[in-house]
Amino acid sequence: MDFNPAYLNVFSKEQAWHYRILPKLNDDTGLILLCDESENIISLSDELEIVLGKRIILDPQPAATISQLLNLHYPKENGQHQFAKMTLAIEGDGFLNDLIREARTLKSSDIHIEIYEERCRVRIRIDGMMVERYVLKKSDYPALINKIKIMANLDIAEKRLPQDGRINFKMNEEQFDIRVSILPTLHGEKVVLRLLNNNAANIDLKHVGFSDFDLENYMQGIKRPNGIILISGPTGSGKTTTLYATLKYLNKETRNILTIEDPIEYTLQGINQVQLKESIGLTFASALRTFLRQDPDVIMVGEIRDPETANMAIRAALTGHLVLSTVHTNSAWGTVSRLMDMGIPPFLVANTLNTSVAQRLLRLLCNNCKEEAPFDASLYPKQFKPFAPISRHYLAKGCDKCYHTGYSGRKAVYEVIPLDHELSHEIKQGNLYINPLLAERGIKTLGENAFALFANGQTTIEEIYPLLFTN
C-alpha cells in the first residue's frame, strides 16, 4: 500500500475520522486518498472535492486497514480510539510494525499473539486488562511468527521448545526494547511481546503514588547509608517503576550504583546496569558476589528469588551498602516471614531490614462514563469492617474513551513500614503480629489506602476487593 505520511497535514484529524480517509498522493493533478471500501465511493468523492477544494481520486481499502492506520496516524485525544475487533488479512511486513506502534501509542504493556483450533487473535494489555484487538486469518499466522523470530534473532526452525529473545525497536525519534517470549501450545506457537519503557525521564518518586506520610517514611529509609529496602507485590504491580524512581533519586556523582536486572526495563545514565544471564551462570547471587568487589554504595537486585540471593543481599547490607530489591509477598510485614522462610535468622533480618514496602496498582474509573449508585454493604467480604461508612459508590459502565472497560489509567497504593528499634525487637522475638504497633505509628495498610480510593469515588469495590483481605 502506497500510504504516504508526508501528506498527513492535507486535512484535519476530524476530517480524516469523519470521512475515514488517509492521504496517498498530493500533486498538481489532484489528491489521491485511501478510503473505506464500504463507503459510497462516488458520493464521497463529490463531497470531498467540495470540502477540500481539489480533484479527488479514491483508492478503496478494507475497513480494518483504514481503522488501523487512522488509530496510528491520527490518534484521538484521551485515547478515544476506535477499538473494535477486526479480521485482518496480513499483507507484507508492515502489520507487525504498525501493531507495535499502535500498542505503544495506546500505552499498552504487552501484546499477545495467540492461535487456537479455529481462529487466531491479537490481544493487548491496557491498564492491566487484556483487550482483544484483532482476529487474524490462520493462514497468515506462521509468517507473522517467523517475522517476530527473525527480528528477535531466534531459531525459526525450532517450534517445539520455548524461546526468549529481544527486539530493539525504533519508532519515530523514540527507541525502546521489546522482550519476546515464544511458547509452543496445542495448535501452534503463542507469542508475548513485552514493551519495555527505556525512557526514565518522567519517573519521579513524588509522582508514583505515595501519600505524603508514606513518602516521608520511604525517603527516610533510602537516605540511610546501609540496610535493605524491599518492595513486595505480585507481577505487574509497579515494583520496578518504584525501584527506578528510587535509583533516579539516589543517582549522584558521589555514589557508585550497580544493578542486576532481568530484564533491564529502563536505562539510567550514570548507573552500571547488568543483564541477568542464567544460561552462562550470571545469576543474581553470582552478580552480587562480584558487586561487593566493585566498591558499590548502592546495589539494586531485580528480585530475591532464592536463599542464596537472600544471603548475599544480607551480607551486602551488613558490610555497609544500601540494597534495593523486590520480593513476592502479600503485605509489607509478610516480607519478614518470607526472609525467615528462606533461612535468614531473625536477628539478621532485624539488623539489616531498613524499610519494607508493599504496593499494588488499582484501575481508576473512567470519569466520562462512571455511574453513581446506592451502595449495598453485602458487597464487602464477609466479616470485613469498613474503615468509614459508605452510602453511594460508582459503577464502571464503559464507553469509547475507555475501550468499554469502564476504567482509565491506574494508581499505585502503598504500605510503607520503616523498621525502628521496637519493631526490630519484635522480629528478634519472632512476633509477627504487630498490627497494634503499626496503628500507633499511623501506618496505613494496603487495604486502608485502597479503601480511601474507593470512598473518594476513584475506583470500584471490585478493584479493591482483593486488598481488603490483606488486613
Distance of CA 439 to the CA centre of its chain: 32
Query: What is the torsion angle, in degrees rounded to the nearest 10, for the CA atoms of residue 463, residue 393, residue 413 and residue 362?
Result: 30
Burial class (CB in 10 A: 0-12, 13-18, 19+), 349: buried
One-letter amino acid of 60: P
Question: Coil, strand, or helix at residue 380?
Answer: coil
E strand or H helix that includes residue 436: helix 435-440
Q: According to the model, what pLDDT value does residue 78 have? A: 46
Using only the alpha carbons of the chain, give its radius of gyration. 26
Rounded to an integer, what distance in angstroms lies between the CA atom of residue 299 and that of residue 184?
37
Cα-based distances in Å from 112 to 124, 125, 144, 235: 6, 8, 13, 17
Question: What ranges make up the beta strands (E) of 69-173?
Answer: 86-88, 110-115, 120-126, 129-136, 163-171
The closest of 28, 32, 30 to 4, measured between CA atoms, is 32
- Nearest-5° angle of CA 417, CA 421, CA 424? 65
- Which residue reads 558487586 in cell numbers? 291
Give the chain's length: 471
Pair 103, 111: CB distance under 8 Å: yes
CATH classification for the domain delimited by 94-195, as one of 2.40.128.90, 3.30.450.90, 3.30.450.30, 3.90.180.10: 3.30.450.90
Q: What is the mean pLDDT of each run of 10 residues along the chain (471 residues)?
A: 66 84 80 84 86 86 79 63 50 75 86 92 88 86 93 94 91 83 95 84 83 93 94 88 93 94 85 91 92 95 92 93 92 91 93 94 90 89 86 87 81 93 90 85 90 92 83 49
The closest of 265, 278, 412, 260 to 324, measured between CA atoms, is 260
Tell me the CATH architecture of domain 212-467: 3-Layer(aba) Sandwich (3.40)
The closest of 13, 48, 12, 50 to 32, measured between CA atoms, is 48
Q: According to the model, what pLDDT value does residue 461 have? A: 92
Domain parsing of the chain, residue ranges: 5-73, 94-195, 212-467
Cell of 350: 532485624
Rounded to an integer, what distance in angstroms lies between the CA atom of residue 390 and that of residue 457?
10
Phi, psi of 73 (to 5 degrees): -105, -20
Q: According to the model, what pLDDT value does residue 431 have? A: 82
CATH code of domain 5-73: 3.30.300.160
| Count of Cβ atoms closer than 10 Å to residue 319 Cβ | 10
Burial 276-309 (b: 16+ CB within 10 A, else e): beeeeeebbbbbbeebeeeebbbbbbbbbbeebb
Rounded to an integer, what distance in angstroms lies between the CA atom of residue 463 and that of residue 471?
16
Please report, in angstroms and rounded to a whole number, the separation of the first and last CA atoms in the chain: 57
One-letter amino acid of 190: K
